[in-house]
A and B are shown apart, each in its own frame.
Chain A
Amino acid sequence: MRKTTTQDYAAYEEEADMLLSVFENLPDALFNNAELRPHEFIISSIKAFARSYQSMNVLGCENGMVIN
């Protein structure tokens, strides 16, 4: 079966590369009043994750881990 795509993903990748180099050089302050933002529940879920996440380094593995 021949695979076909309707989207030019190679061009999208190139565009993402180009945009990254542009954005990296833009001053952060330029976005202080930007209206384009993620929904507030996305932000609050990330903040909640930051509070609940415990690294394995901190938890340690003295009690062993069940891996299977």
Chain B
Amino acid sequence: MEKQLVLSDEQLVKDFVAGDAGSIDVLIERHKAKIFSYIVMCVKQQELAEDIFQEAFIRVIRTLKNGRYNDTGKFSSWVMRIAHNLIIDYYRKQKNQSVISNDNYEYDLFNSTSFSDKSIEEQLVYEQVMQEVGMLVKLLPDNQREVVMMRHYRDLSFKEIAEETNVSINTALGRMRYALMNLRRLAEERNISLTLQ
């Protein structure tokens, strides 16, 4: 090991490819601080930086062992470019997934009123709106009321509604459309606001 400490990176790479596993230890120890510092500066999270660092060296080892290493520049620059590509991959994946991590914020994103239980007032408004909707549904023509009840109270699909009422799917859809138009009209005529908070 002491002899290896004075060897150049190029020689250590050659020795590792030739089967000397100890050579990669020296390369890792020699360059870990610089490569890890670069990754941390980019991603600013210790755990994520460690994942990228590990993945970068796994790729380095695979490339070397498969005889695909032909970089003529510095070893540390080559590893940093591999890490750089992994960082860019990570950013692009995050961008496509649009995931928001709670770890990235100093406050709890989920500690919001929109996720909390309804207040008494909201509950009362909700119950009143439901009561008024029920009353308006009763005013609909029979065939339209039937479709609304089956769809929204019994959660049936339009295919199932069509089968139960012996009509085509298009007729069932049409009845639902007229039912919604009538409900809107009835609510307007009676000055009923069906807006939930």
Asked whether A65 is an interface residue with its Cβ less than 8 Å from the other chain, the reply is no
How does the 8 Å CB contact mask read for B113-151 relative to A, with 1 for contact and 0 for none? 000000000000000000000000000000000000000
Residues of A in contact with B, size category:
35 or more
How does the 8 Å CB contact mask read for A22-35 relative to B, with 1 for contact and 0 for none? 01101010111010
Q: Is the CB of A19 within 8 A of B33?
A: no
Q: Is the CB of B84 within 8 A of A20?
A: yes
Q: Is the interface of B mostly helix, strand, loop or mixed?
A: helix
Q: Please, which residue of chain A has its CB at the minimum distance from the CB of B96?
A: A3
Q: Which residues of A contact B29 (CB under 8 A)?
A: 43
Asked whether B180 is an interface residue with its Cβ less than 8 Å from the other chain, the reply is no
Q: Please, which residue of chain B has its CB at the minimum distance from the CB of A24?
A: B77
13 new A-B pairs (CB below 8 Å) besides A37-B33, A45-B54, A57-B66? A4-B98, A7-B104, A16-B42, A16-B84, A19-B42, A28-B30, A38-B53, A42-B50, A43-B28, A46-B54, A46-B58, A53-B65, A58-B65
Would you give 12 A-B contacts (Cβ < 8 Å), ordered by A?
A4-B98, A16-B87, A16-B88, A19-B41, A23-B38, A31-B34, A32-B33, A47-B21, A54-B65, A55-B62, A55-B66, A56-B66
